Structure 1
């Protein structure tokens, strides 16, 4: 009886110091399971500026299980790993970050849940050794997303995409042809049996995080635009409510001015405050609408997820 094959995929940008450790720890865990499973490890290099690609070549030269796709440029933290998942041919695909904040020690637990019949097994950060404030902000985001979520899909909190996806799930993802996917929500929408594996997120010990305000904001807004129309409806409702309030205030000012013509000065402060309030509200909701329009534009343009420069250790070129 042939062994089941597990594909393990990561995306890397300037991770020269972490790649050897990632490789060693993944290999250690998979060797423990070698009696039942074959495996391949795929790393996509996002046009790293350090020696990441050199290190990847060295590892691939000595281990046929280790595969590399070198991208033509940096295609980002969303498209690149998703593309890698679609390139894998295992019976199950495991996605994990290359900075070791998704610990390889969790791999056996993910596979065990898969063997129990779950098609999607997500790693869930129950604790984190990163900044407590940063972790609280993440928890608040997931709480808010689930609060306004009207897609009918339960989105598990503190799941970043780290997890195992059965071959049938990956096959469905290929059919969707998503140009800019929100992976953690997309796999939940498919409706397959899902399990969670809790883990403690370690701190990054080597290199520098590639996450910044923009990348985190980008991820957050993709989650909102993919799973809820509530912000758009709030824009309409907010306009109606504020319009009613402004009309009421105008009537009150008119009555007071007629009753106390000499003693009730109109003043410029209320006018300025009202203009600032309504301008800020308008800009906020225009920005919300812009996010949805941007999501539509991405779908319409439908540019390729990734352009490859080179493949290493792939038998089928």
Structure 2
């Protein structure tokens, strides 16, 4: 019998983990050809999430728990749990029930047909229309600037064969952009469309900073275009400044008594160039920060305890 690993990252999800566990268990009860393990990795929750998970693990040895020593963020913690999975295939499933557990059957069907990667792609969402539109714009932008083709509207929800996990273990990235790594590895993926349901209970743990963090990580890990754009734009604006200066000089010579230089163009130009410089200094800072993280080579997480491993 083939073993399937379900990986669920958690942070303050006391209202959802029990129902998620029950739904996953019900899915596998209808598929007797598989055995499974359900790995919950908790990012040092401040509510009763760990207590509930321990009660589940006490009754069911298929439920395995990793509790982090502190909150290591939404990028490192799920990736660490994926690397601990020992199944023939691994399915990443978030705790808030916005990834439908019933799609596990569809993933396994396509996996059995020979696909090493099966991804859930959300074509519609019951979340905020404005947020969904912003996400869509981001995916379109990053696909334009990226050196590889990334999967649009995929959050990591999907199935990954064991050979994919073995490759990820060899990469040893301390701050990985998981979605980008899957595309970078290059195996053909099968995409299953779905409509993302609204979160039933609790509030999302994502905020502007976490969304910005993962967006910039995707850009810095998979594109050099922003850096090259800085050089090209600098050259273009230098040439434009020279032309404007020559135009002002000629205008002053021709209309010496009537043409007033004024301070407005000087102030506008100063603020324009300053803002452009600050923008690209920020871009360069993002790349330097990414290099700094790679050089430090800190562990993905530090575990406080494990249960049922």
TM-score, structure 2 as length reference: 0.99
Aligned length: 309
**Superimposed CA distance per residue, residues 170-200 of structure 1 (whole angstroms, 9 cap, x where no aligned partner):** 0000000010111111011111121111111
- Output the CA distance in 2 between the equivalents of 1:183 and 1:271: 46
Q: Which of the numbers 276, 282, 286 marks the counterpart of 2:281?
A: 286
3-state SS of 1:48 partner: coil
User: Paired residue for 1:48?
Assistant: 45
**Superimposed CA distance per residue, residues 14-42 of structure 1 (whole angstroms, 9 cap, x where no aligned partner):** 00000001101111111111x21000000
User: Paired residue for 2:144?
Assistant: 147
- Output the CA distance in 2 between the equivalents of 1:193 and 1:244: 45
3-state SS of 1:236 partner: helix
User: Paired residue for 1:16?
Assistant: 14
User: Paired residue for 1:170?
Assistant: 165
Gaps spanning 5+ residues in structure 2: where? none
User: Paired residue for 1:159?
Assistant: 154
3-state SS of 1:40 partner: strand
**Superimposed CA distance per residue, residues 101-124 of structure 1 (whole angstroms, 9 cap, x where no aligned partner):** 111011111111111101011110
User: Paired residue for 1:36?
Assistant: 33
Q: Which of the numbers 278, 288, 298 marks the counterpart of 2:293?
A: 298
- Output the CA distance in 2 between the equivalents of 1:30 and 1:191: 30
Gaps spanning 5+ residues in structure 1: where? none
User: Paired residue for 1:4?
Assistant: 2
**Superimposed CA distance per residue, residues 129-156 of structure 1 (whole angstroms, 9 cap, x where no aligned partner):** 0011110111100000111112xx2211
- Output the CA distance in 1 between the equivalents of 2:251 and 2:11: 65
**Superimposed CA distance per residue, residues 251-305 of structure 1 (whole angstroms, 9 cap, x where no aligned partner):** 0001101111121111111000000000000011111111111111110001000
TM-score, structure 1 as length reference: 0.96
- Cα RMSD after superposing both structures: 0.7
3-state SS of 2:149 partner: coil
3-state SS of 1:38 partner: strand
Q: Which of the numbers 193, 205, 213 marks the counterpart of 2:208?
A: 213
User: Paired residue for 1:138?
Assistant: 135
- Output the CA distance in 1 between the equivalents of 2:159 and 2:243: 56
- Output the CA distance in 1 between the equivalents of 2:188 and 2:151: 13
Q: Which of the numbers 51, 62, 82 marks the counterpart of 2:59?
A: 62
- Output the CA distance in 2 between the equivalents of 1:246 and 1:28: 67
**Superimposed CA distance per residue, residues 46-89 of structure 1 (whole angstroms, 9 cap, x where no aligned partner):** 10000011001000000010000000000111000000000000
- Output the CA distance in 2 between the equivalents of 1:262 and 1:304: 70
Q: Which of the numbers 186, 190, 195 marks the counterpart of 2:190?
A: 195
The answer on 1:114 being equivalent to 2:115 is no
- Output the CA distance in 2 between the equivalents of 1:27 and 1:277: 59
Shift in Å at residue 8 of structure 1?
A: 0.2
User: Paired residue for 1:266?
Assistant: 261
- Output the CA distance in 1 between the equivalents of 2:171 and 2:296: 15
The answer on 1:124 being equivalent to 2:124 is no
The answer on 1:309 being equivalent to 2:307 is no
